[in-house]
Amino acid sequence: MNTLRNKVQLIGRLGQDPEIVTFKNGDKIAKFSMATDDSYKDKDGNKVERAHWHNVIVKGGLVKVVEDYVTKGQEIAVEGKLTNRSWDDDQGNKRYATEIICNELLMLSK
């Protein structure tokens, strides 16, 4: 059951081309946002559709796959763990981010 403690699985579409960040030591990460769709009926019975945006970070060997094959608008499935981080911006304001650290990626469309 420990593998289920912090596990996220999403299917969605990329909002933009992935950003590839290369560090001084040569390591890379890929960052992108993806949208998952949701719908429900409001109190009047009208269908309401909305998109939820998720920030995804890819590390290790999957970065090369993302860099070579994943593009804006593409439908993908990701699996990973949910993380939270905070930092102070240039104006001294506390900023927060929730991200998915991806360890599995499946391309569902070209």
> What CA–CA distance (Å, rounded) separates 14 from 74?
6
Domain that holds residue 61: 2-107
> What CA–CA distance (Å, rounded) separates 59 from 27?
9
Number of domains within the chain:
1
Q: Is 88 helix (H, G, I), strand (E, B) or coil?
A: strand
Where the chain has pLDDT below 70, the residues are: 1-4, 110
> What CA–CA distance (Å, rounded) separates 17 from 66?
9
Task: Provide the whole-model pTM.
Answer: 0.84
Partners of 11 in beta bridges:
77
User: Tell me, what's the pLDDT at 3?
Assistant: 64
User: Tell me, what's the pLDDT at 109?
Assistant: 75
- CATH for 85: 2.40.50.140
